[in-house]
Amino acid sequence: MGPQRNHVQPPKAQSWAERAHNSASLRYPRQEADLSSMLASVRSNIRNYDMHHRQYTSKVQSVYGAKVL
């Protein structure tokens, strides 16, 4: 018999997206937490904008009257 070879499993077939996700999670382990805090910040900013816009609109309407269509 010839020399014995160690049997090596072939690499698992992965899509480009799977490879990219695995690579990113290795390079950026805090990515999920960072993304969560960024989304929370965006939501907070949108809420603040809406609140200030409503206040501004009510002030303008109290001075100039409601818009008539």
Residue 15: is its pLDDT beyond 90?
Answer: no
Tokens of 55: 């206040």
Residue 1: is its pLDDT beyond 70?
Answer: no
> Shortest CA distance to 32 belongs to which of 21, 46, 43?
21
Question: Which of the two residues, 63 and 4, has the higher pLDDT score?
Answer: 63
Q: Is 41 helix (H, G, I), strand (E, B) or coil?
A: helix
The per-residue pLDDT for range 16-63, each reduced to its tens digit, is: 888 887 887 777 777 677 778 888 899 999 999 999 999 999 999 999
Please state the domain extents for the chain. 16-64
How many other C-beta atoms can be found within 10 angstroms of the C-beta atom of residue 21?
A: 13
Check residue 27 and give its pLDDT.
Answer: 77
In the chain, alpha helices (H): 16-27, 31-64
Check residue 47 and give its pLDDT.
Answer: 93
Euclidean distance between the first and the last CA atom of the chain, given in angstroms as a whole number = 94
